[in-house]
Amino acid sequence: MDQITYDDFTRVDIRVGTILEAAPLEGARKPALRLSIDFGPELGVKTSSAQITKYYQAADLRDRLVLAVVNFPPRQIATYFSEVLTLGVMLGEGDIVLVQPDRDVPLGTPIR
């Protein structure tokens, strides 16, 4: 595994958000959900594509806190633009568990 410096890590902007909406992502090569995530007044609402369909149904994700990298450039997935990378623990191919704070914290709070 490649090592990074602390300065490398500090360039990754990870923030807390809450899922406002989730729905199946039509046209994706692998099953995925499209998410609208609120990161608070500083960053606002951003979109994300997440391959989390093994453990999560779209209807169950509303109001769930998540962590996401918010300083990647947007990436096109099928006809959808994903603006942030929602973080999860990768157990296997298509086997992802969301990472989230264990208590309520203000939206947009950075992770360090």
Q: 9-22 pLDDT, tens per residue? A: 999 999 999 999 99
Q: What is the pLDDT of residue 14?
A: 98
Higher pLDDT, 94 or 26: 26
pLDDT at 69: 98
pTM: 0.93
How do the domains of the chain map onto residue ranges?
A: 6-96
- Residue closest to 91 by CA, chosen among 51, 49, 62: 51
The matching CATH number, chosen from 3.40.50.970, 2.40.50.140, 3.40.50.620, 3.30.310.50, for 6-96 is: 2.40.50.140
DSSP per-residue letters across 44-65? -EEEEEE--TTT--GGG-TT-E
| Distance, CA of 64 to CA of 61 (rounded, Å) | 6
C-alpha angle with apex 107: 94 to 48, nearest 5 degrees? 30
